[in-house]
Chains A and B, each alone.
Chain A
């Protein structure tokens, strides 16, 4: 089985208000070396019995059409192969 691990984050340069708030909180905790925090979403798509190429193609399609908003977000896809049980 193939699982697509999809990370969706705000494009660089777009204010990430959540990230900023978390960064301030980390600084308050004494973890002061954090220069930037960017928040995002992790989406896992598990496919049936399909090829790696097909899994990548479908993941791309899902990101382009729905999972990410190209106006404000970037995405990264990583495919993970697992033994099916």
Chain B
């Protein structure tokens, strides 16, 4: 199995993802420069966090036109597994691979802290190593993480089990106080209808071993690895 981590200009979590996959999860992984046009040799593509293109215009709005994104869309449309973290999630929404959009946090602050996530669907390609209702402790670091989608899109997401993670308190209750950015329905991570493309604002790439305070993020990577083994 081979992972590819896309490197956009301005990405700053590409090495975190690479390190987590290569040295902690012992996977074959390679960086992919954003000018590449083929992803044929990869099984999983990771769009890492950061500030691609300086977040100019809108977060992810310019990165989605990077040459590699045509290949990513093609890869996703042929059932390839794609995981977008933070800015990667924003890019996936901008590119239309995931529904909705990520907007400025409702408190207008850059939020950088550990948050609790409730696992809403433990059968997905990205959460099969979790239990339904389990609370994961994973950090966020973003200024544009308010997940927005119109009412009909939201009810589709809910009905199809596409909401994977929601911001919650330590006991797993979904409350406004536990929502760091004003996301609708406390949504922190979703997948597409087909279940092969996932985006989440929290960073599993910053919480994959206990020395980082939490190893809960490892469950996300383990889920994908488990799927493909």
Residue among A18, A21, A66 with the most chain B CB within 10 A? A66
The contact of B101 among A21, A66, A67, A72, by CB within 8 Å, is A72
The interface bits of chain B over 143-163 (1 if a CB of A lies within 8 angstroms of the residue's CB, else 0) are: 000101110000000000000
**B65–A18 CB distance below 8 A:** no
Interface residue SS majority, chain A: mixed
Residues in B lying within 8 Å of A, measured CB to CB: 57-58, 61-62, 65, 93-94, 99-101, 103-108, 146, 148-150, 182
**Contact digits for A24-65, partner B, Cβ 8 Å, 1 yes 0 no:** 000000000000000000000000000000000000000000
Find out whether the CB atom of B107 lies under 8 angstroms from the CB atom of A69: no
Q: Report A's interface with B, CB cutoff 8 A.
A: 10, 14-15, 17-18, 21, 66-67, 69, 71-72
On whether the beta carbons of B182 and A15 are closer than 8 Å, the reply is: yes
- Bound together, the chains give a CA A69 to CA B93 distance in angstroms of 10
Q: Is the CB of A17 within 8 A of B148?
A: no
Total CB contacts across the A-B interface at under 8 A: 35
Decide: A17 and B65 in contact? CB cutoff 8 A: no
The interface residues of chain B lying within 8 Å CB-to-CB of A10 are 103
Q: Check A17–B101 contact: CB distance below 8 A.
A: no
Add 6 more A-B contacts to A17-B106, A17-B182 (CB < 8 A): A10-B103, A14-B103, A66-B57, A71-B93, A71-B101, A72-B101
A15-B182, A69-B94 given as contacts; is B148 within 8 A of A21 (CB)?
Answer: no
Complex CA–CA separation, A24 to B183 (angstroms): 22
Contact A18 B148 (CB under 8 A): no
Min CB–CB distance B58 → chain A (angstroms):
6
B94 lies within 8 A of A17 (CB): no
B108 and A71 within 8 A (CB):
no
Contacting A71 at CB < 8 Å: which of B62, B100, B105?
A: B100
